[in-house]
């Protein structure tokens, strides 16, 4: 094993020395034949960059330019598409230290540069040699026997350091046993590419139908441009060992194109436990750009509006009296993500913004909510805000402790009065939802309730226009 390791190190050293004497071959976007970009929710993307190259047989050095500046180099993989197995990568270096005047100056610390000064009166130029002592927060130069700060003239450098690039570059030491002309593919993971979904909903006048448009917002801060890329998006929570931050993006404005049923601008399919969306046409994702791509559009989706007054369980265990005056009633809108409702496409996580036309026909913003990934046939429920004209007054009218001298044998009986007020010119229905603790029972009530879950009583109360309705009930809870 020791002999094998020494032999491998000797071969690698020999190749490295040969490469040092070999002129570096560069590959740019001009060689690119195809690029595929798959973007995940967590500021992560998979890039597959195919290029046609002329590679000499044996050892060579390849500078693969115009890659992402936020590449994760440990994930980079170069392979030959046209001649599988003929190309080996012996060593690779990711040069992302880009060429700027400041970077060039920093690379020349402890090296000699030329300083060219111009006489403002005569225009004559003089040249002096200077040693760069420091380039931190300015420049310190040694010119002859004196030390100067600042830049007294133009600085002339003898060359550009090899590890200082004008574009992010992956430099690879290759061993080619195949033909000279090959189609190769470089795949790697990178940060700096993010996407999110934004949705725009318009409610009709009676709040029972809606039109919805979905947009995908892409943000590219990776330091590279992907021309005519095959774009795919993965929706789902993909585990990563090192978490990364989400990229910011700007939402797209509302689309006004109505359709009879859902129009899918992206093809969707299942991928493992996630969903994959594929754009049916190539698109260019430019560097430092935010782009919007249509995801779906549908109209006439059945909707339901709910006015909800939600209580608490603490006042079933003690005496509280007044529980609140003019309590806000929440406003919710929900719809089904089903084909029968003109949808039926898995919806990526995002923000849904809701609009409604006023009396003059202008769309006005009425609220927004964030939704998680929503599978087909699931319900989408949005909280848009609190009602202005519908309020509630609530109080505890009675409280009795019927028992409770030890653990788990407490018994409380209490009475409640809820006055629902409606200032609208039309009648409304308010859902009163009360979470009741322990083993509970409604002893008496002015309106019938239903059991929403093991600890929830629900009343549907009709409130007349410009009127009020009183809900009175009495409960018994045991612990």
* Residue 19 backbone dihedrals phi, psi, to 5 degrees: -65, -35
Identify the pLDDT of residue 18: 44
Note if the pTM is more than 0.75. Answer: no
pLDDT at 11: 44
416 phi/psi in degrees, rounded to 5: -140, 150
* pLDDT tens digits, one per residue of 367-395: 999 999 999 999 999 999 999 999 999 99
338/324 Cα distance (integer angstroms): 40
Beta pairing, strands 193-203 & 350-357: parallel
Residue labelled with tokens 């006489």: 119
According to the model, what pLDDT value does residue 160 have? Answer: 82
Q: Using one digit for the tens of pLDDT, what is the confidence trace for 102-135?
A: 888 888 999 999 999 898 888 899 999 999 999 9
Report the percent of the chain where pLDDT is more than 90.
Answer: 68
Residue-range domain boundaries for the chain:
2-32+50-94+170-190, 101-156
Give exposure, 233-254, as e/b (b: 16+ Cβ within 10 Å): bbbbeeeeeeeeeebebebbeb
Sign of CA dihedral 9, 10, 16, 17: positive
Residues 319, 399: contact at Cβ < 8 Å?
A: yes
Are 334 and 380 in contact by the 8 Å Cβ rule? The answer is yes
Write the pLDDT tens digit of every residue in 9-63.
444 454 444 444 457 888 999 999 999 999 998 789 999 999 999 999 999 999 9
């Amino acid at each position: 094993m020791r002999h094998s390791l020494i032999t491998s190190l000797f071969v690698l050293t020999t190749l490295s020395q040969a490469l040092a004497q070999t002129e570096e071959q560069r590959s740019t976007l001009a060689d690119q034949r195809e690029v595929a970009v798959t973007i995940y929710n967590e500021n992560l993307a998979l890039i597959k960059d195919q290029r046609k190259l002329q590679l000499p047989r044996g050892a060579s050095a390849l500078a693969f330019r115009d890659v992402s500046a936020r590449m994760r180099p440990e994930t980079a993989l170069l392979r030959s598409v046209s001649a599988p197995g003929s190309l080996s990568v012996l060593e690779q270096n990711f040069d992302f230290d880009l060429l700027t005047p400041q970077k060039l100056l920093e690379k020349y610390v402890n090296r000699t540069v030329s300083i060219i000064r111009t006489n403002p009166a005569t225009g004559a130029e003089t040249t002096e040699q200077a040693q760069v002592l420091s380039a931190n927060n300015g420049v310190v130069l040694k010119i002859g026997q004196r030390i100067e700060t600042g830049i007294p003239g133009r600085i002339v450098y003898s060359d550009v350091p090899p590890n200082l690039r004008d574009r992010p570059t992956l430099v690879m030491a290759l061993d080619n046993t195949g033909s000279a002309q090959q189609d190769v593919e470089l795949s790697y993971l990178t940060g700096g590419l993010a996407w999110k979904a934004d949705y725009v909903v318009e409610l009709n006048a009676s709040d029972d139908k809606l039109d919805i448009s979905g947009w995908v917002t892409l943000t590219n801060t990776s330091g590279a441009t992907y021309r005519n890329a095959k774009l795919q998006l993965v929706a789902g929570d993909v585990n990563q060992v090192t978490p990364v931050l989400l990229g910011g993006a700007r939402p797209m404005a509302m689309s006004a194109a109505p359709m009879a049923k859902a129009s899918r601008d992206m093809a969707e399919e299942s991928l493992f436990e996630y969903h994959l969306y594929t754009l049916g046409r190539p698109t260019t994702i430019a560097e430092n750009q935010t782009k919007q791509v249509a995801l779906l559009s549908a109209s006439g989706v059945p909707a339901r509006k709910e006015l909800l007054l939600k209580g608490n369980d603490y006042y079933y265990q003690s005496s509280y009296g007044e529980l609140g005056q003019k309590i806000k009633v929440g406003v919710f809108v929900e719809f089904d993500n089903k084909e029968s409702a003109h949808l039926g496409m898995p919806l990526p996580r995002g923000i849904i913004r809701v609009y409604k036309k006023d009396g003059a026909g202008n769309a006005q913003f009425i609220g927004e909510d964030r939704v998680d990934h929503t599978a087909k046939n699931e319900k989408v429920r949005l909280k848009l805000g609190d009602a202005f004209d519908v309020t509630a007054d609530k109080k505890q009218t009675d409280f009795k402790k019927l028992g409770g001298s030890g653990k788990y044998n407490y018994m409380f009986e209490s009475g409640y009065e809820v006055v629902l007020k409606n200032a609208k010119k039309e009648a409304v229905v308010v859902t009163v939802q009360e979470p009741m603790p322990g083993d509970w029972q409604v002893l008496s009530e002015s309106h019938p309730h239903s059991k929403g879950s093991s600890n929830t009583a629900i009343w549907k109360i009709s409130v007349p226009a410009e009127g009020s309705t009183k809900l009175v009930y009495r409960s018994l809870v045991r612990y």
